[in-house]
Chains A and B, each alone.
Chain A
Amino acid sequence: MTAPDPKIDAERLATLPRIPRDEGGPVFAEPWQAQAFALAVKLSEAGYFTWKEWTSALAHDLKAAADRGEPDDGSRYYDRWLATLERLVAAKGLTDPAAMLERKEAWADAYRHTPHGTPVELRPRE
């Protein structure tokens, strides 16, 4: 618990950024955000990392991004969430960065070569 500090000067307060508001709209802006969210929850439930590990890794990445001067208005929150997920699954040996990169390219390739209206499947590797 934190008690409010009565000695904060008005000038400093004026420089604080405003808070982005919502209308109680969707919590996930895009489907991939929900998928990234579910992956972290499920991997933690399965015991690959504790939730405490997850939150401290995420907090670390959020802070690093803020220190780099990246916008931190909440709009890129799941970008960081995904970066943390990639970092943690690699650190835990569940997969590795090279495999993730290769798989990402394979998906992009699959989209480029699947005719419209057909489900996108990964093509068998040669």
Chain B
Amino acid sequence: MEERRKTTTGSDQHDHDHQAVPSDLALRVKAIESLLVEKGLVDRAALDAIVDAYETKIGPRNGARVVARAWVDPAYKKRLLTDATAAIAELGYSGGQGEDMIVLENTPKVHNLIVCTLCSCYPWPVLGLPPVWYKSAPYRSRAVIDPRGVLREFGLELSEETEIHVWDSTAELRYMVLPERPAGTQHMSEQELAGLVTRDSMVGVAKVTAAKSGAAP
């Protein structure tokens, strides 16, 4: 290797001879992973499958399909509100850590908001992984203390008559919000409706609007 250590173009040339050393955090993960894989405690392919699933396959789209089905099928909605875990499994979404799901219906009188005050429990099978703000201390503490203020920060102004219910998720119990179906969507198909449903609306920090602004799912 010594022959490759050219000095002609300056001292940083040496850096190009080998690979950039990852951050300390990345090295620590590599250390645990390689030790446990070596011992046969975890399978690398299974780890990759999880990463891939959460990054690409699972996500708020699953939840959006659940919501759209509930909007068009009253019998499904009833099952969803009485046994969410089973109703969600009907659409093929299950897994996570074996926790139970509860779906909370938003109405003109009651607005539901979900949080995990202790860490970041979140309904992964339907919503994917939580956004950064969901995991932040300000959200975790303020959602309980000042839900109306939190919603305002998200651009959602609720009337004083609307009751806000805040639900604190746990390792065993995860919540998802069933947002209100927006007016003027009677003509829309289930699939089109699913396209309107956002992640934020299923956490309870937004409402679903008929005119979807912005990004594709």
Contact = CB atoms under 8 A, between A and B. Distances in A.
Contacts of A59: 118-119
A22 B134 CA distance: 10
A18 to B, nearest CB: 6
A11 interface: no
A13 B146 contact: yes
B133 A5 contact: no
Interface in A1-41: 1-5, 8, 13, 16-22, 24, 26-28, 30-32, 34-39, 41
Interface in A85-126: 85-86, 89, 94-95, 99-101, 103-104, 106-108, 111-116, 118, 120, 122
Q: Which of B27, B55, B165 has the most CB of A within 10 A?
A: B27
Interface string B109-153: 000000000111100000011111111111101101111111001
Contacts of B41: 43, 46, 48, 94
Contacts of A73: 132, 136-138
B30 A28 contact: no
Contact of B29 (A63, A82, A94): A82
Nearest to B24: A104
Contacts of B50: 37-38, 41-42
Contacts of B75: none
Contact of B136 (A1, A4, A20, A108): A20
Interface stretch (B32-40, B85-93, B178-186, B189-197): B32-40
B35 A39 contact: no
Contact of B35 (A5, A79, A99): A99
B101 to A, nearest CB: 14
B72 interface: no
Interface in B21-77: 21-36, 39, 41-43, 46-48, 50-51, 54-55
Nearest to A59: B118
Contacts of A34: 51, 54-55
Contact of A95 (B18, B32, B43, B137): B32
Contacts of B22: 32, 107, 111
B83 interface: no
B81 interface: no
B168 A55 contact: no
A120 to B, nearest CB: 6
6 contacts: A1-B168, A2-B166, A3-B166, A34-B51, A78-B25, A100-B31
Given A77-B135, A77-B136, 12 more contacts: A1-B165, A13-B146, A16-B141, A19-B139, A24-B199, A30-B23, A31-B26, A32-B25, A55-B121, A66-B137, A111-B18, A111-B20
Interface of A: 1-5, 8, 13, 16-22, 24, 26-28, 30-32, 34-39, 41-46, 48, 51-52, 54-56, 58-59, 62-63, 66, 72-75, 77-79, 82, 85-86, 89, 94-95, 99-101, 103-104, 106-108, 111-116, 118, 120, 122
